[in-house]
Structure 1
C-alpha cells in the first residue's frame, strides 16, 4: 500500500489527473502508477458469434465480424498505450522520476479492487471519457469506485493547481478525527495552512471538538483556522472555500452526520458535481 495510482483515460480530466497525481507522488515521496482500463463492455474479448449469425453460407460474415472486433480491440489498446505514454511523459516533466504504467482489459471498479492493496492514494477525474462536455455530470464509475475502495480518493475537476490551503469539513466523527490525524502525519499537507470548518449549531460541545482538532494540528506544526457556519452543508462549504480561496477540500466519504451523508443521499454527489477544486474523500 505505497503507490499513488492515477486512472488515465480519454476524458478532459486526464491531464489534471496526471498533474494532481504527480504532485501527490512528489509530496508523499511515493511511486506513481498510471492505470488505463479498457472497458470490457465497449471492447469485449473475442467470443463465439456462431449462435447469433448461424452456420453454413454465412460463415464468411462470422469471420469478418470476428476480425472487425479484433481490430477495434487492438486499436483501442494502442490508443490506451498512447495515452499512458503521454501521461508518463507529463509526469516526468512534472518531476516524477520513474512513473510506472499499467493497462488492463476489464471493469474499472473490479480492476481497482484487485489492485487495492497496492494503493496508498487513488487519483481519478470526476468525469470519464463518456461523460460528454457537461461539467455538472460525474463519471458513471466514480460513485462505484468510492463505494468499493477503502483508500483515500482524490477527485479532480478539469484543471489542477497545487493547493496552497486545505479545508477539512469537520464534524467530530471518527472519520473526520482520523482525517485530522492523517493531515497531521501526512507529507501531502506539509507546509499548507489548514481550515477546519464545521457546519451546524455553534454549541459548546461542537466548539470543544473543533478546538481539540485545531490544537492537534498546531502541535504538528500547522497553521490552522477554525470556523463554525450555519446553513446547508454543500453551499456553506463551497461559500467558505470560495471566500478563503481554498485549493483542496477534504471530507469523509460517508457516515451519519449531516456533513457525511454520502452515497446514501445527495450530499456527496452534489459536492463532487459542483466542486471546481480537487476533493479528497476519506474512508
Structure 2
C-alpha cells in the first residue's frame, strides 16, 4: 500500500506539515507515515577519534568523547521519538487513525529514495530545523529532494490552510498533459475549483489547448477557469494566484519549455521562497 509520507524534523514548519499530511491522507484515503531522520553529521552513531592530532595516547579522553557521542545520539533518538509521538497525536486530532511512525538514521534524500516505492505523496516543509528563522529561506535539502524524488511532493509554506481551490500551471506539453491527467484522476483535489494558467503569448492555438484541458478537468473540478498571461513564469504565476486568491499552486517538474524548466535554476528558489501557499510538484 502506498502511503502519504510526511517529514518531521522539529522545525516550526512541522506542525503545518502534519496538518497538510493529514488533509492529504483523508483526501486520498491513504495511510499516513510520519518520518524523522537523524542526520549523521549532527548525531553520528560512532566516530573514530584515534587519528585526531594529539589524542592518540590519551585513551581516557577518547573514551569520554565516544561516550559523549553515544549520549548525544541516544538523546537525539529520544527527542525524535517524542517528536513523532506528538505529531501522531496531532494527526489523530486531524482525523487520521492509521498512522505509522518511522525513525531512521542517515541522509534525508537517501532515505526518501529508499522509501519512495511505498510513497504516494511526500509532504515536506519549505524550511527545516537547521534553516534560518527568515521566512523565505529554503531548507537545505528541499531542492535536492524535488530534483530526485519521483513522487508528487506537497511543499508546505507557512501555516496550514485546507486548500479550497488550486492553480494548475499549463503549457500544453506532453509533461503538462500528463500532470493534467494525474490531477483529473486523483481524489486529492477532487471537487475543488481549478484555474488553468498558461504563461506566454495568447493565440488561437493556446486558447484551444486551454479549452481542451478545461474539458478534461470538467469531471474532476467543481469549476474550471483558464487564462493566459505574458511575462516571466516566476512573476506571472504568483501574481495570478494572488489576484484570484487561490490556495494551492500545482506544477509539473522538468522539461524543456520555459514553464517546465523553472525547477532547474534560480526560478525554483524564487517561487518556493516567495510562495505564500503550498505547492504541489508533480514529476
Q: TM-score range by the shorter chain?
A: over 0.9
What is the rounded CA distance, in whole Å, between the counterparts of 1:90 and 1:212 in structure 2? 41
What is the rounded CA distance, in whole Å, between the counterparts of 1:257 and 1:26 in structure 2? 34
Aligned to 2:19: 19
Structure 1 residue 207: deviation in Å?
1.1
Aligned to 2:257: 257
Aligned to 2:79: 79
What is the rounded CA distance, in whole Å, between the counterparts of 2:50 and 2:87 in structure 1? 40
| SS of the residue 1:177 aligns to | helix
Which stretch shows the higher mean deviation, 252-261 or 100-109? 252-261
What is the rounded CA distance, in whole Å, between the counterparts of 2:148 and 2:176 in structure 1? 19
Structure 1 residue 282: deviation in Å?
0.7
Aligned to 1:34: 34
**Could you say what the CA RMSD is over the residues aligned between the two structures, in angstroms?**
1.2
What is the rounded CA distance, in whole Å, between the counterparts of 1:115 and 1:196 in structure 2? 32
Structure 1 residue 219: deviation in Å?
3.9
What is the rounded CA distance, in whole Å, between the counterparts of 1:80 and 1:144 in structure 2? 23
Structure 1 residue 264: deviation in Å?
2.4
Q: Which runs of 5+ in 2 are unaligned?
A: none
| SS of the residue 1:50 aligns to | coil
Aligned to 1:106: 106
What is the rounded CA distance, in whole Å, between the counterparts of 1:239 and 1:21 in structure 2? 26
What is the rounded CA distance, in whole Å, between the counterparts of 1:182 and 1:124 in structure 2? 20
Aligned to 2:132: 132
Work out whether 1:244 is the aligned partner of 2:247: no
Aligned to 1:88: 88
What is the rounded CA distance, in whole Å, between the counterparts of 1:220 and 1:136 in structure 2? 33
Aligned to 2:67: 67
Work out whether 1:3 is the aligned partner of 2:3: yes
Structure 1 residue 226: deviation in Å?
0.5
| 1:138-217 matched pairs, under 5 angstroms | 138-217=138-217
**TM-score w.r.t. length of structure 1:** 0.97
Aligned to 1:234: 234
| SS of the residue 2:218 aligns to | helix
What is the rounded CA distance, in whole Å, between the counterparts of 1:130 and 1:178 in structure 2? 35
Q: Contact 1:39–1:106 at 8 Å: present in 2 too? A: yes
Q: Provide Cα deviations, 1:104-134, integer angstroms capped at 9, x if missing partner.
A: 0100000001111010000000111111211
Which stretch shows the higher mean deviation, 172-181 or 58-67? 172-181
Q: Which runs of 5+ in 1 are unaligned?
A: none
Alignment CA distance shift 1:239-1:221 (3 Å): closer
Q: Contact 2:55–2:61 at 8 Å: present in 1 too? A: no
Q: Contact 2:194–2:221 at 8 Å: present in 1 too? A: no
Q: Provide Cα deviations, 1:156-199, integer angstroms capped at 9, x if missing partner.
A: 01211001101001111122111211121111111100100111
Q: Contact 1:175–1:282 at 8 Å: present in 2 too? A: no
Structure 1 residue 221: deviation in Å?
5.5
Q: Contact 2:39–2:107 at 8 Å: present in 1 too? A: yes
| SS of the residue 2:264 aligns to | coil
Moved over 6 A (4+): none
Aligned length: 282
Alignment CA distance shift 1:221-1:21 (3 Å): closer
What is the rounded CA distance, in whole Å, between the counterparts of 1:221 and 1:89 in structure 2? 32
Q: Contact 2:193–2:222 at 8 Å: present in 1 too? A: yes
